[in-house]
Amino acid sequence: MTLHHFEPINKSMRNLSLEEKVAEMCVLGLAKQTLPSADKLRLGQIGGVGIFPHDIGSYAYTKQLLQEVREAAGEQRGGLPFYLSIDEEAGSLSNFKDFFPYIPGNRAVALSEDPQAAYALGRLIGSQLFELGIPMNWAPVLDVNTNIDNPVIGVRSFGEDPKLVAAYGEAYIRGLHSAGIASTAKHFPGHGQVSGDSHYVLPECELTLEQLMAGPLIPFQRAIEAQVDSMMLAHLIFPNIPESQGLPASLSPFFVTDLLRIQLGYEGVICTDDVEMGAIKNNFEPEEVGRLAIQAGNDMILMCHTPDFQQRVMNGIVQAVRAGDIAESQIDASLLRIERLKNSFVMYREKAQPLPMNSWEKEALALAKATIVVEQDPASLLPLTPSKKYLLLVPKQEKLTVADNAAASELTLEAKLLGKNINVKTIYTSMQPDAQEIEAIMAELTPYDVVMLGTINAHIFEDQLQLARRLADAKPLITLVLRNPYDAALLPQKTSKVFICSTSEYAMRAFAELHCTI
């Protein structure tokens, strides 16, 4: 097979002005779910675009929008494709669930205890991106979720064991690559141990460098060995790592250059997480953000919402170069890495072996079935049977973080069970049912033989546990852990417990097909 090769820093890049070079290092978001003339003008002047849930419509609309983006950007600038990426993680952050199979995410996949499931996840997601013409994914999430109350990672992580996360992350990267898609490991050096959400605040991580090296950094080291294409830096501060000088990792020369680039030997593109997140935007002026991000050693800056903020960030970089605070040779080195990344887009696409679209449903269902685990069933309440009446109680999903669009989807479990001739009725509860709501639920139990209770982060929303205890004393109870797995240890011991760790349609279908009598 013949692959394209490009000279280092092609002619079109060498002839750019300083302002144009800086713009090539910036990845922006679109203003809204259209492509107005202002966006079209900017697209011809910047390095890349990030696609977000608000940009997604129907399949036809999304395909058309992406084509317009590529055309407006001038897809073959100097023979290289446009940088176009998305956070497509599956599970709680799924952008295409209205028209592609809505599949479980990382934590559910880890229930399989088989890294091959992570490879299958990466290949299926990669096949979807290949079909849409998006060459890069801001995934996988390689954060080790050591703080179980972490508000922003949770089921986006493969788990709590660094070596397990490393194995699944490496397999996921290979899966993306096999489908022709470039990968991004995030959020370096690890967001899973903090208690704050960087979309809103600037969290602190108390770990020392030695502790980071012994745990959270292991998956990122493995990703480097797997030839991950990009690394995304987290907005976290590390008070016990004095070399960082109190700066967020994303703006810290120690984390970006000394640790990632030099000590760990990473040679690919390094980018910030979105600098319009509250962690950065609320603590630094835009011009300072641009200067600090590039001085730290980032090759690309993600800023995905506000044109004025974005322009000020770019102005700050230009001013810093002209003042001698940043060498233009550093800008050129970043442009070379970006060119190499875009070269890889071409090579991955030429070698791609994506799954054919007509196989996606079968692959999604097989993957979902591999993720569902019955931890215990002491009263032999499974499988479900048409001879019994079931009451299904499920919290009405809420948006738990900005990086979460699961709440917009209706839980389809009742429909899947009815399709298997199971006599079931659903009652939606609050995420935090109070005493009055619990009493109202208890008054509904009489006609039912068995109650099924879905939990969504009951280890945080603890009133769900109070409801579970009351139900377990009144009726045979099956508990379905639908989000973080940590609920199971807190649920009544005498109940049946099923790990699903997803509310996706294919997870619901898999449960119905695995645990209903025919």
69 phi and psi, to 5 degrees?
A: -60, -50
The dihedral of CA 163, 166, 168, 171: what is its sign? negative
Rg from Cα positions in the chain: 24
Between helices 115-132 and 59-73, what is the axis angle to 10°? 70
AA letter at 353: Q
Long-range contacts of 429-432 (CB under 8 A, 24+ apart): 429/393, 429/394, 429/395, 429/396, 429/464, 429/467, 430/395, 430/396, 430/463, 431/395, 431/396, 431/398, 431/456, 431/461, 431/464, 432/461, 432/462, 432/463, 432/464
Active-site hit among 98, 114, 161, 199: 199
Is the preceding peptide bond at 383 cis, omega within 30 degrees of 0? yes
The residue among 123, 125, 109 whose CA lies nearest residue 167 is 109
Active-site hit among 55, 143, 229, 273: 273
DSSP assignment of 448-498: -SEEEEEESSTTTSTHHHHHHHHHHHHS-EEEEE-S-GGGGGGS-TTSEEE
Burial pattern 269-297, b for ≥16 Cβ within 10 A else e, equals: bbbbbbbbbbbbbeebebbbbbbbbbbbb
Report strand pairing: 373-376 vs 389-395: unpaired
Q: Any catalytic annotation for residue 114?
A: no
CA distance 136 to 245: 32
DSSP assignment of 166-226: HHHHHHHHHHHHHTT-B-EEEEET-STT-SS-TTTS--B----HHHHHHTTTHHHHHHHHT
The dihedral of CA 404, 405, 410, 414: what is its sign? negative
Q: Any catalytic annotation for residue 199?
A: yes
CA distance 145 to 192: 4
CA distance 238 to 244: 7
List active site positions.
199, 273
